[in-house]
Structure 1
Amino acid sequence: MDDLRQDAESLLTKTSLSDGVDRRDFLKVALGTGFAAAALPVVAQNVIKTDTAGLVAGTITLTVDGVQVPVYRAQPEGKTNLPVILVVSEIFGVHEHIADVARRFAKLGYLALAPDLFVRQGDPQKAASIAELQRDIISKTPDAQVMADLDATVAWAKANGGNGDKIGITGFCWGGRITWMYAAHNPSIKAGVAWYGRLMGDSTPVTPRHPVDIAGSLTVPVLGLYGLKDTGITQDSIAAMKAALAKGPNKAVFVVYPNSGHAFHADYRASYVEADAKDGWTRLQAWFKQNGVI
């Protein structure tokens, strides 16, 4: 629920476009229709658009436990033995911004894969409201299912030109929490970068544990990128996570940006903070290089 609340607070700020682009038309192209297209504020001049020149990019489909799971794939054309990055979306699913992030990784030489981890529960972009999105999709997406889908994505990567010894993961908000959790689930991951992912929460059948619960046994190095002004992910929760990590073997690092709140990397939203997003992206690249992903 905290993931959803933070995205809602970020999204419901009114924003106008300064370049004459109609906000709703832009979103129909970028994100589809439904709740996301109706409510997301967009600052069009900030939106990063990464082309596909020199890339193979598009959607592939995996079969996981009899279910067809779409995965957005981007990679350099004609190359194999590529380092692999799993890109885990916000609560709004694999829309154009997440696909663009995958293309950015591909331009850096990675095989980037962004699976639709909500496919069994529904399409977040078609939810009519935040309440519906939470009730019908987010609250019904079990961690165990997500871990299995990511496992299948890793298996596909290994069989299709990816280097199984060089796999990293990154994710945003909901996906930031999943980054911590998958790093604990799959210790063969070389490194993770969690962008403002929730660290604590109630134990439920869907989310029985949270990052603070697995911190003591975590061996995969994770870089956590957070905003000081994030009202949902408090500094107390970050302190609790650091204390839990200190009891185990992990060498996680936190960077807290004093001028940012939640979703500061999301260039299509009013929450975007360009300087911190760029700094985080630079730190991400250095972290993956330092920890043997590339």
Structure 2
Amino acid sequence: MQTDPDFNSLLPTHRLDRRGFLLTATAAGFALATHPVSAQTMIHTDDTGLATGTASIDTGTGALPIYHAAPAQGGPHPVVLVVQEIFGVHEHIRDVCRRLAKLGYLAIAPELYFRHGDPGKYDSIPALLKEIVSKVPDEQVMSDLDLCVAWAAGHGGNTARLGITGFCWGGRVVWLYAAHNPRLKAGVAWYGRIRGDASGLNPRHPIDVAGELKAPVLGLYGAQDQGIPAADAEAMREALKAAGKPGEIVIYPDAGHAFHADYRPSYREAPAQDGWQRLQAWFKANGV
């Protein structure tokens, strides 16, 4: 199994902040994700003016839990799928949904590991990768995301304006979904893996589907990422160009992996804020 880049970004560099741990350890997967944590950098978006909550979607093989956030008034709202890091739908991912809802979107974050286990029960990243993450088939993920789109259509979403964004594990999924769903208008992939070994569950990776994208993708990467070489991001840029596919790759020179994760020391404020502004402009320019 190929190690997820998030593993390299989570090796402890200083003592865990106890206050930050106690504040954040309640959400699924969040305690594991925050080693080490910085309480000073964590961003919290309130739900004032929003309709937020949880729901479940019948997949035929179980009930898919989702978190959703949207403006409390008006609609139908354009839809953005938010795809988790390896740690599941923890508080940071929920906060991203609320940030998008403040911009006028119906944001949906599905628990894409639900058939395979609860990431909140793991205190070891290698065990999480081996026992859950490595068992999730790409085909299943694509199907679950399609079901989220169908759910959105019946719950105040305008699926004619459909976008997707995701982080690390979810960043890779963004590229794959852009090659999967012809209804997608745009995607934003945050430091998603581009290359990898083919397997039965993960037969292809973003570099393999560059010529099949059905929607433009903005890829946001860090030049200091120890898991995803900048050369891979450059290769994706060239693959998009060679295939004549619209897309953009941004590589931040001083950022490493997980630079948007404001609850971890990997957070880099300037690239994170620039990336967020680019996400908004990308969605608007592409009809989301």
Fold-level similarity (TM above 0.5): yes
1:36 counterpart residue number: 32
Give the 5 Å matches for 1:83-232.
Answer: 83-232=78-227
What's 1:10 paired with?
9
> What is the aligned counterpart of 1:69 among 44, 53, 64?
64
For 1:266 and 1:78, locate their aligned partners in 2 and report how far apart those are by CA, in whole Å: 29
Decide which moves more: 130-139 or 263-272. 130-139
- Could you say what secondary structure the match of 1:46 adopts? coil
Residue type of the alignment partner of 1:87: V
Q: How far has the Cα of 1:119 moved from its partner?
A: 0.3
- The separation in 2 between residues aligned to 1:276 and 1:246, in whole angstroms, is 24
Pair 1:2–1:256, CA change in 2 (3 A): farther
8 Å contact from structure 2 (residues 28, 88) kept in 1 = no
Do the aligned partners of 2:222 and 2:230 also contact (CA within 8 Å) in 1? no
Q: Structure 2 CA distance, aligned partners of 1:238 and 1:193?
A: 14
Q: Which segments of 5 or more consecutive residues in structure 1 lack a partner in the other structure?
A: none
Conservation of the 8 A alpha-carbon contact between 1:13 and 1:270: no
Give deviations 1:212-261, integer Å, cap 9, x for gaps.
11101213100000000002111221222222212323111011000100
**Alignment counterpart, residue 246 of structure 1, candidates 231, 238, 241:** 241
Letter in 2 for 1:11: L
In structure 2, relative to structure 1, the CA distance for the partners of 1:214 and 1:249 (3 Å cut) is same
Structure 2: tracts of 5 or more residues without a match: none
Q: CA deviation at 1:207?
A: 0.3
Structure 1 position 17, deviation (Å): 6.8
SS at match of 2:219: strand
* Cα displacement string for residues 45-65 of structure 1 (whole angstroms, at most 9, x for unaligned residues): 111100011111111111102
Query: CA offset at residue 73 of structure 1?
Result: 0.3
Q: Distance in 1 between matches of 2:2 and 2:52?
A: 33
Pair 1:48-2:48 in alignment: no
CA RMSD of aligned residues (A): 1.7
Aligned residues: 288
Which residue identity is paired with 2:114? V
Give the deviation of 1:16 after TM superposition: 4.5
Displacement after TM superposition at 1:127 (Å): 1.5
How many Å separate the matches in 2 of 1:14 and 1:229? 16
Equivalent position amino acid for 1:12 in 2: L
Question: Following the alignment from structure 1 to structure 2, what is the Cα–Cα distance between the partners of residues 97 and 239?
Answer: 28
Q: Could you tell me how far apart the structure 1 residues matched to 2:139 and 2:226 are? A: 28
Are 1:26 and 2:36 counterparts?
Answer: no
Identity %: 55
Indicate the SS of the match to 1:225. Answer: strand
